[in-house]
Amino acid sequence: MYFASRLRAFAGAAALITASAIAHAQAALPNVVILATGGTIAGAGASAVNSATYSAAKVPVDKLIAGLPELSKVANVRGEQVFQVASESLTNDNLMTLAKRVSALSKQADVDGIVITHGTDTLEETAYFLTLTVHTNKPIIVVGSMRPGTALSADGALNLFDAVNVAASKDAMGKGVLVTMNDEIQSGRDVAKTVNIKTEAFKSQWGPLGMIVEGKNYWFRAPAKRHTMQSEFDIDTITALPAVEIVYGYQSVPSTAIDAFAKSGVKAIVHAGTGNGSVADRIVPVLQKVRSDGTIVVRSSRVPDGFVIRNAEQPDDKYDWVVAHDLRPQKARILTMVALTKTNDTKELQRIFWEY
Ligand code: DAS
């Protein structure tokens, strides 16, 4: 009897010690907040073979977290459902709401990293906006998936596991906003969706910053442009984003779109030109008029890679146009909106395009 009671007491003590050791270990883990916005990573299809036919923005954030118990070994994770939409439908107001929430969380001592689950269609725009405007060195990771969690070989679970791992990593601090897709760690500034149906969809012409394999980060380069703490833009002081629209260049393009945008009072037009940002000869005078009326003109290119050379295809100095450097039109629009919250001086705008 004596030994049995001693054994029970010992087992009870051992259980208590184990429980407190587990609690202590869990408390020692980093705290990561997942802000969910929708997209395929929260999508659901009718059957496992539906990898492309499904509904995006269905699964709530708590279900995403519950479906990935491995996260509890990496960080103390909690979720907030900011939106539940497909990202092609996000608006400037949504972007502002999300960025202000990220900024507020980043200032909390009990938050070590932030993950944003997001649709892949415009993920690159959100990632760039956050890297331009959120002042923190803490890891901020934007993550999506190309297949819904209901599909065979779904990619969302591993992408999310990777995102939380990187968000919980001290070596991911101070690198700007990051994107974890398909085992790669990409710069939020450089990355773009380059394939619309493959899991290997996100690329940067300058390459990934690193890779993540079985929860370990491998870094191979660092961002070259200003971001987060080095940015002169701060979401906490931005109250609204100006209207900046994109027009596309192609054979026999009319000036209808430019005329309509100019008439609607946009503050800038990004021209996605052919080749190195070329502008059709019949469109040049239209853009010159737009500029003379006070609207900013930014020359980008419909060609995904490379970068637009100032004063090459067009005399930008003479026309007082800005060139978008290596930014694709959709990212040039994000930077133009943010820059115009500070200045509409074209020399300043061009500096900003060189530096961010
Ligand atoms: N419609 C896409 C989006 O929400 C789905 C996805 O790929 O995430 O961006």
Average pLDDT over residues 28-40: 96
Which pLDDT value is given to residue 12?
Answer: 79
* 158 in any annotated domain: yes
In degrees rounded to 5, what are phi and psi of residue 157? -60, -45
Give the separation between CA 175 and CA 228, rounded to whole angstroms.
9
Q: How confident is the model over 237-257, as pLDDT tens digits?
A: 999 999 999 999 999 999 999
- State yes or no: pLDDT of 18 exceeds 90: no
What's the pLDDT band for 150 if we cut at 50, 70, 90?
confident
Same domain, 147 and 194: yes
pLDDT at 1 (0 to 100): 60
Distance CA(298)–CA(130), nearest Å, equals 21
The answer to whether position 6 is within a domain reads no
Q: Looking at residue 14, what is its pLDDT?
A: 75
287-309: buried (b, 16+ CB within 10 Å) or exposed (e) per residue? bbebbeeebbbbbbbbbeeebbe
pLDDT tier at 19, thresholds 50, 70, 90: confident
Closest residue (by CA) to atom 8 of ligand 1? 119
Q: Is 340 in the pocket of ligand 1 (CB under 6 A)?
A: no
Of 43 and 230, the structure prediction assigns the larger pLDDT to 230
Q: Do 295 and 341 belong together in one domain?
A: yes
Our answer on whether the CB atom of 87 is closer than 6 Å to any ligand 1 atom is yes
Q: 117 and 94 in one domain?
A: yes
Catalytic site residue from 18, 37, 40, 126: 40
Q: Is pLDDT at 3 greater than 90 in this prediction?
A: no
- Whether 40 is catalytic: yes
How many Å is the maximal CA-CA distance in the chain?
Answer: 100
Q: How confident is the model at residue 125 (pLDDT cuts 50, 70, 90)?
A: very high
Question: Nearest CA to 26 among 81, 85, 74, 59?
Answer: 74
Query: Which residue's CA is minimally distant from atom 7 of ligand 1?
Result: 120
Hey, which residues does 32 pair with through a beta bridge? 77, 113
What is the Å distance from ligand 1's center to 122 Cα?
Answer: 8
Please report the pLDDT score of residue 307 as a whole number.
Answer: 98
Residue where a domain terminates, one of 208, 230, 252: 230
Does residue 51 have a pLDDT over 90?
Answer: no
In a domain, 52, yes or no: yes
- Tell me how far apart the alpha carbons of residues 130 and 35 are, in angstroms, rounded to a whole number: 13
The domain that holds 300 is classified in CATH as 3.40.50.40
How many A from CA of 144 to the centre of ligand 1? 8
Cβ–ligand 1 contact at 45 (below 6 Å): no
Backbone dihedral region of 207: left (phi > 0), alpha (psi from -120 to 50 degrees) or beta? Answer: left
- Tell me the per-residue pLDDT of 65-121, one tens digit each, with 9 for 90 and over: 999 999 999 999 999 999 999 999 999 999 999 999 999 999 999 999 999 999 999
Q: Find the range with the poorest average confidence among 37-51, 274-288, 310-324.
A: 37-51
Measured from the CB, is residue 121 less than 6 Å from ligand 1? yes
Check pLDDT > 80 for residue 16.
no
Q: What is the CATH number of the domain that holds 36?
A: 3.40.50.1170
pLDDT at 24: 74
User: Do 280 and 179 sit in the same domain of this protein?
Assistant: no
C-alpha span between 26 and 14 (Å, rounded): 18
Give the Cα separation of 126 and 313 in Å (integer): 30
Does position 2 have pLDDT exceeding 70, yes or no?
Answer: no
Q: Is the CB of 88 inside a 6 Å radius of any atom of ligand 1?
A: yes
Q: Which atom of ligand 1 is nearest to the CA of 85?
A: 4
Q: Which residue has the higher pLDDT, 49 or 202?
A: 202
d(CA 28, CA 165): 15
Q: Is 2 a domain residue?
A: no
* Residues 261/262/263/267 CA torsion (nearest 10 deg): 90
55 pLDDT tier (thresholds 50, 70, 90): confident
**One domain for residues 272 and 333:** yes
- In short, whether 204's Cβ falls inside 6 Å of ligand 1 is no
Q: Give the residue, out of 37, 40, 59, 182, with the most ligand 1 atoms within 8 A of its beta carbon, to mutate for a pocket test.
A: 40
Which residue, 230, 261, 295, sits at the end of a domain? 230
Question: Which of 207, 230, 253 marks a domain boundary?
Answer: 230
Residue 223 and residue 251 in one domain: no
The whole-number average pLDDT for the span 192-211 is 97
Closest residue CA from atom 1 of ligand 1: 86
Asked, for residue 24, whether it belongs to a domain, the answer is no
Tell whether 310 is covered by a domain: yes
Task: State whether 101 and 193 are in the same domain.
Answer: yes
Span from the CA of 87 to the centroid of ligand 1 (angstroms): 6
Which structural domain, as residue segments, surrounds residue 95? Answer: 29-230
Q: Which DSSP string do the residues of 252-313 spell out, in sequence order?
A: T--SHHHHHHHHHT-SEEEEEEBTTTB--TTTHHHHHHHHHTT-EEEEEESSSSS-PPTTTS
Would you say the CB of residue 86 lies under 6 angstroms from ligand 1? yes
Q: Is the CB of 126 under 6 A from ligand 1?
A: no
What proportion of the chain, given as a percentage, has pLDDT over 90?
Answer: 85
Q: Span 156-170, mean pLDDT?
A: 98
Least confident window among 18-27, 49-58, 203-212: 18-27
Does 38 share its domain with 181? yes
Query: Is 22 among the domain residues?
Result: no
